[in-house]
């Protein structure tokens, strides 16, 4: 809900499910932040607006820490959200030009000569997430209007209330160890995280959280922000000299240049969303999950199928015969989607060749992929393929025909990672070529699922001949979004998974266009517990793909683990299978079939239910998560190692009705809700790498 408050109607109050957000425009067109936190009334907002700014102090700005969207220029010393160059002039001196509300969206319009700037806000009635973004436009003016250069145009600046001290949480990592929570006291000055890699990155998720009073998993006030952008990005958390804190974020990793606007051009930033929660890290997570399921993820209320992926079984040595053998075994286990990974296309005997030539290898797949797809469909499964459209091998027909299509800098030696280069999707001819190839592939073959990979970072982001090559960084991502949007519109029955060597491209922007993400290339079930714990801080289980693979884990660490532990680990998200099923014993196959059947029975609860992280993974102690949907409760528990004389403790459940009775669906045992909350649920786990799935039902 949006209210325009006060006699002069220059106060705006946005109200969501449990929280509110307010801002105020002064008589001199200074846009000030008033409130972000629990719900307040219009009278409260007016009282806050009546408070004066701090008095003048030498060497300080009265505006710093109070402005809603600080710009470059004037009496300001904080990091600006907006930096503009117009000819020889820099800085912004805007004037207010109007406001408008349309449903749950508020737009505030400002102007500075040829620059038109609109600040957008959206807060939905069913959520506490505030969505913010900006639009900058060149509206011309003058006999020979010059171009406007946006050096920086962040989506939003978030202002926090004054507290004695703050703690900063972020999700850091690396390839195969993504989404590791890290918490530290927020120092004075700036803490900057981001990506200079051209994609979201394995190193940081574009998410931060701040708490001032020791928030826990279920208690305490928390402010969290997340950026919806799949390219290079930056989030800066500033603790100012007077203790105020502001968080600024948007596309681009520095201020070297974002886009150049000719008269009539405009730039719209990605969304920088944020929410306030009084329910600690768990309450914030559940609010983020609910918002994404309702407003971000396509067709989110439809649960994702159990898939089988052939990569760890075959690598590049794929063929129709090997895929058929795997498909038959996967179908017998209950898999619902069969995905052919890398190696199906012409010239692809390894990672040195073939990328860019998206045609089935005639020796490995006589007649193309359709015969295999028909066979897979006949087994009752959907059919999927792996692609990496944004990349090209130098040893490919595409690169030989169009070497200039790869990102490169003239006069400089290029870099190859994984023996491949990055195509310049900002070029219209490259973008159109990929559309024709991918659209043709999906039109000629009955494909139900596309695993879209991205296996290297930008290193030579040049664009010879382009007058403003800096725009490549933004335009590549825009082109990616355009391709996915066009393909989804033309092939509405095809689902897409985002992958970037695992979790290198996971963000709200890509999730608005894909159905799930490949969380990490690390499929070790113990390592995955920490990865999945961090992932769940922002994103729901409905999009978190997780595989059961072979033991020992030959891809990474060689750790041996039971099929039970591997399955229960992967059942915390969208279950997948990735081992070489032709080498599994009859006993293993039979056990796996039962686990798949069990997962299908709990799938709606896991993928769509409310998540409670009961015990965080770490060391050799017990860890557990709980999902609840309606009357159903599912608890997954893992015991990495058993200590002598230290039986694992009962797991205390959360979010239950203390007056209700809960029945275990597997044993028939009856529990009181209050007992489960205060005394816990016995798990029965023993030994090393043990795990269990416990299904409860209220009133059954």
| % the chain with pLDDT above 90 | 89
Distance CA 425, CA 226 (A): 25
State pLDDT tens for residues 370-395. 999 999 999 999 999 999 999 999 99
The predicted pLDDT at position 87 comes to: 82
By DSSP bridging, strand 544-548 and strand 574-577 are: parallel
Element (H, E) at 320: helix 320-333
State pLDDT tens for residues 643-663. 877 888 999 999 999 999 999
Beta bridge partners of 21: 14, 36
Assess whether pLDDT exceeds 80 at residue 3.
Answer: yes
Q: Region 58-85: what's the mean pLDDT?
A: 93
State pLDDT tens for residues 181-223. 999 999 999 999 999 999 999 999 999 999 999 999 999 999 9
Q: Which residues lie closer than 8 Å to 645 by C-beta, 6 or more apart?
A: none
The predicted pLDDT at position 144 comes to: 61
Distance CA 535, CA 225 (A): 15
Query: For residue 643, which of 697, 598, 688 has the smallest C-alpha distance?
Result: 688
The predicted pLDDT at position 142 comes to: 64
The C-alpha torsion from 508 through 512 and 516 to 520, rounded to 10°, is -30
Whether residue 95 has a cis bond before it, omega within 30° of 0: no
Residue whose entry in the numeric block shows the structure tokens 């459940």:
653
Assess whether pLDDT exceeds 80 at residue 555.
Answer: no
Q: Region 575-603: what's the mean pLDDT?
A: 97
Give CA separation, 524 vs 39, 177, 529, in Å: 44, 11, 9
Query: For residue 300, which of 563, 508, 29 has the smallest C-alpha distance?
Result: 508
Write out the catalytic residue numbers. Answer: 453, 521
124 touches 16 (CB < 8 A): yes
Distance CA 270, CA 80 (A): 17
Query: For residue 338, which of 287, 375, 387 has the smallest C-alpha distance?
Result: 375
Q: Region 1-13: what's the mean pLDDT?
A: 86
Q: Region 667-685: what's the mean pLDDT?
A: 96
The predicted pLDDT at position 86 comes to: 87
The predicted pLDDT at position 412 comes to: 85
The predicted pLDDT at position 659 comes to: 97
619 vs 592, higher pLDDT: 592
Mean per-residue pLDDT of the chain: 95
The DSSP call for residue 334 is T
130 touches 216 (CB < 8 A): no
Q: Which residues lie closer than 8 Å to 237 by C-beta, 6 or more apart?
A: 168, 186, 190, 191, 192, 208, 210, 245, 246, 247
Q: Region 39-44: what's the mean pLDDT?
A: 95
Query: For residue 172, which of 193, 157, 141, 149 has the smallest C-alpha distance?
Result: 193
Distance CA 53, CA 42 (A): 20
Assess whether pLDDT exceeds 80 at residue 573.
Answer: yes
The predicted pLDDT at position 556 comes to: 76
Distance CA 638, CA 611 (A): 16
Residue 116 confidence class, pLDDT cut points 50, 70, 90 = very high
The C-alpha torsion from 61 through 64 and 70 to 72, rounded to 10°, is 40
CA angle 272, 277, 282 (to 5 degrees): 100
Assess whether pLDDT exceeds 70 at residue 143.
Answer: no
State pLDDT tens for residues 434-472. 999 999 999 999 999 999 999 999 999 999 989 899 999
Assess whether pLDDT exceeds 80 at residue 145.
Answer: no
Q: Which residues lie closer than 8 Å to 627 by C-beta, 6 or more apart?
A: 541, 602, 605, 606, 609, 610, 611, 612, 633, 634, 635
Query: What's the order of all strands across the beta sheet hosting 82-86?
Result: 89-90, 82-86, 148-153, 259-261
Which two structure tokens, joined as six digits, stand for 55?
């008095």
- Residue 508 buriedness (CB in 10 A; 0-12 / 13-18 / 19+): buried
Residue 340 confidence class, pLDDT cut points 50, 70, 90 = very high
Residue 619 confidence class, pLDDT cut points 50, 70, 90 = confident
| % the chain with pLDDT above 70 | 99
Query: For residue 33, which of 243, 245, 210, 240 has the smallest C-alpha distance?
Result: 245
Q: Model's pTM, two decimal places?
A: 0.97
The DSSP call for residue 111 is E
The predicted pLDDT at position 115 comes to: 95
Distance CA 489, CA 494 (A): 10
Q: Region 337-361: what's the mean pLDDT?
A: 95
Give CA separation, 564 vs 203, 330, 526, 551, 596, in Å: 31, 18, 12, 11, 11
């Amino acid at each position: 809900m949006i209210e325009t408050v006060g006699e002069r109607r220059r106060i705006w109050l946005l109200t969501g499910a449990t929280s509110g957000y307010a801002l105020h425009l002064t008589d001199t067109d200074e846009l000030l932040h008033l409130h972000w936190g629990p719900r307040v009334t219009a009278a409260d907002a007016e009282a806050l607006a009546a408070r004066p700014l701090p008095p003048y102090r030498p060497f300080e700005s009265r505006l710093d820490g109070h402005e809603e969207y600080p710009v470059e220029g004037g009496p300001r010393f904080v990091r600006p959200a907006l930096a503009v160059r117009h000819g020889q002039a820099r800085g912004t001196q805007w004037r207010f030009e109007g406001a408008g509300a349309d449903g749950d969206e508020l737009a505030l319009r400002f102007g500075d000569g040829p620059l038109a700037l609109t600040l957008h806000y959206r807060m939905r009635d069913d959520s506490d997430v505030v969505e913010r973004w900006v639009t900058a436009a060149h509206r011309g003016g003058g006999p020979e209007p010059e171009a406007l250069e946006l050096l920086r145009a962040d989506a939003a600046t978030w202002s926090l209330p004054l507290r004695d001290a703050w703690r900063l949480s972020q999700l850091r990592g690396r390839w195969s160890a993504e989404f590791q929570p890290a918490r530290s006291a927020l120092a004075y000055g700036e803490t900057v995280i981001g990506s200079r890699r051209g994609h979201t990155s394995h190193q940081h998720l574009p998410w931060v959280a701040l708490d001032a009073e020791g928030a826990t998993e279920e208690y305490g006030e928390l402010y969290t922000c997340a950026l919806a952008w799949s390219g290079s990005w930056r989030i800066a958390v500033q603790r100012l000299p007077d203790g105020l804190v502001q968080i600024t974020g948007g596309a681009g990793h520095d201020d070297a240049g974002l886009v150049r606007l000719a008269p009539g051009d405009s730039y719209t930033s990605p969304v920088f969303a944020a929410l306030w929660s009084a329910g600690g890290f768990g309450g914030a997570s559940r609010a983020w999950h609910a918002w994404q399921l309702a407003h971000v993820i396509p067709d989110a209320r439809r649960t994702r199928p159990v898939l089988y992926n052939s990569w760890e079984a075959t690598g590049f040595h794929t063929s129709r015969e090997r895929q058929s053998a795997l498909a038959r075994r996967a179908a017998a286990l209950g898999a619902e989607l069969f995905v052919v990974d890398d190696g199906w296309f012409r010239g692809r005997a390894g990672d040195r060749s073939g990328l860019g030539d998206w045609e089935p290898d005639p020796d490995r797949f006589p007649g193309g992929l359709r015969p295999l797809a028909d066979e897979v469909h006949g087994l009752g499964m959907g059919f999927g393929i792996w692609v990496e459209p944004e990349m090209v091998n130098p040893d490919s027909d595409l690169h030989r025909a169009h070497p200039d299509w790869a990102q490169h800098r003239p006069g400089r030696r290029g870099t190859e990672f994984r023996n491949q280069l990055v195509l310049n999707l900002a070029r219209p001819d490259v973008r159109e070529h990929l559309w024709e190839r991918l659209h043709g592939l999906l039109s000629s073959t009955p494909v139900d699922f596309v695993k879209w990979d991205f296996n290297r970072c930008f290193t030579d982001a040049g664009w010879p001949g382009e007058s403003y090559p800096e725009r490549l960084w933004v335009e590549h991502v825009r082109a990616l979004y355009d391709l996915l949007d066009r393909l989804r519109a033309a092939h509405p029955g095809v689902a897409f998974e985002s992958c970037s060597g695992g979790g290198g491209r996971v963000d709200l922007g890509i999730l608005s266009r894909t159905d799930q993400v490949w969380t990490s290339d690390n499929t070790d079930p113990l390592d995955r517990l920490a990865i999945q714990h961090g992932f769940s801080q922002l994103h729901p289980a409905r999009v978190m793909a997780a595989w059961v693979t072979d033991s020992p884990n030959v891809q990474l660490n060689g750790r041996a683990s039971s099929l039970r532990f591997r399955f229960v680990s992967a059942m915390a998200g969208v279950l997948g299978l990735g081992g070489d099923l032709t080498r599994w014993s009859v006993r293993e196959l039979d056990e796996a079939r039962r686990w798949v059947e069990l997962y299908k029975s709990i799938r709606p609860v896991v993928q769509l239910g409310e998540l409670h992280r009961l015990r965080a993974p770490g060391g050799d102690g017990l860890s557990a998560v709980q999902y609840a949907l309606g009357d159903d409760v599912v608890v997954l528990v893992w015991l990495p190692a058993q200590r002598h004389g230290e039986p694992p403790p009962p797991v205390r459940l959360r979010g239950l009705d203390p007056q209700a009775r809960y029945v275990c669906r597997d044993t028939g045992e009856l529990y009181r809700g209050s007992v489960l909350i205060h005394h816990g649920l016995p798990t029965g786990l023993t030994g090393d790498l043990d795990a269990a799935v416990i299904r409860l039902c209220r009133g059954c």
